[in-house]
Structure 1
Amino acid sequence: MMFGRAEGGRKRGRPVMKLIDSIKEDGKPSVCKAGLGFASMVIVFFCNTYYIMVLAWGFYYLVKSFTATLPWATCGNPWNSPECVEIFRHEDCANGTGTSNLTCNELSDKRSPVIEFWENEVLRLSKGLDFPGAINWEVTLCLLACWILVYFCVWKGVKSTGKALASWLPLPPCSLSPVPEVARDLERGRERKSKLRA
């Protein structure tokens, strides 16, 4: 029986007492169950850290997208390698007709500016674990901003987080509403392009 009657006729909850009793063995905390609690805290810490890092990358891309030309759309940036090619269409190579001056074999050795921005500018990949690279301070500042934002979201507890969620809830549908129209415009552009080729 989970609940019993107390002296005043009120119900007294006993699930917490059962939980405490299950954690203790002979009045002392169980080593195994204490280890499980510690392990679950470590796992939650690493999951939260990873999730905040993903948010920081998204925030970094958001900040970088407020430019006239997107930095990951073109070659010729300081992080691009000589193998960077802006026209990067492998589907044209399937039938052997490439639209650029490169053959399909040459195009397979080239790299997209999107991949080069991610690996060379955002992640700044080094040659290996033996060669630690420099810290990307822009991403570090985005990470700090995300941690501060998360702190203020949970600062006053669940009620303030619910209010913040209610105010931000309409944002994704509003920001995604132009996507079908953009997709239709792209499809119309492809149709016009194929008509001009014919």
Structure 2
Amino acid sequence: RLSKVGRAGIVLANGSMTTQQSGEGDIRKAMIKDDVVECMVALPGQLFSNTQIPACLWFMRKDKKAGKNGKKDRSGEILFIDCRKMGAEQLSRTQVAFTEEEIHKIAQIYHRWRETEFSDGEPYEDVLGFCYSAELEEVEKHGFVLTPGRYVGAAVEEDDEESFSGKMAELTEVLYEQMKKAEELDTIIKKNMGVLGYGG
């Protein structure tokens, strides 16, 4: 149980952000409406040695107003951070880890958002595909689902147009080769069918 100024961080399976089973949806809805959910972080798969399934971090706080835990009043807001594409350090074939740079980047997003003493002083900004600060009304419109990917959006890939053109040219070349082989096979089949007395 949290005190008035208490904070809590919990690691849970991704289903906790969306499931409606066993009254979990009602519990999640009540927590959001009570404004105790502060930050949600989606983690990459293969982060833990005992399971490869992706998990998420829940950070909760009863008092999100400005104070000793941050100069910025974040009442009525939830910070969403999507780290599913992170975990660049390959520990083994089945396990990854965050690099120091990645951990710093994630932490700074939160500290900027709350304007804590640990912030680097840069202003918080939503980053497409990575982080987003949502009003509770917006979360309610999404059916009280807390999956970060639903809020942060999709990042725009650089050189996407060039990449598409290159891939399209490559696929077209393969298609033409396959069509040519299909014509050759069709000719062989017709010839063999004629030998067997079934030619048209």
For the superposition of Structure 1 and Structure 2, which TM-score range results when normalised by the shorter chain? under 0.3
Structure with higher RCO (Cα < 8 A, 6+ apart): 2
Q: Give the structure with the higher percent strand.
A: 2
The structure with the larger Rg is 1
TM-score calculated relative to the size of structure 2: 0.28
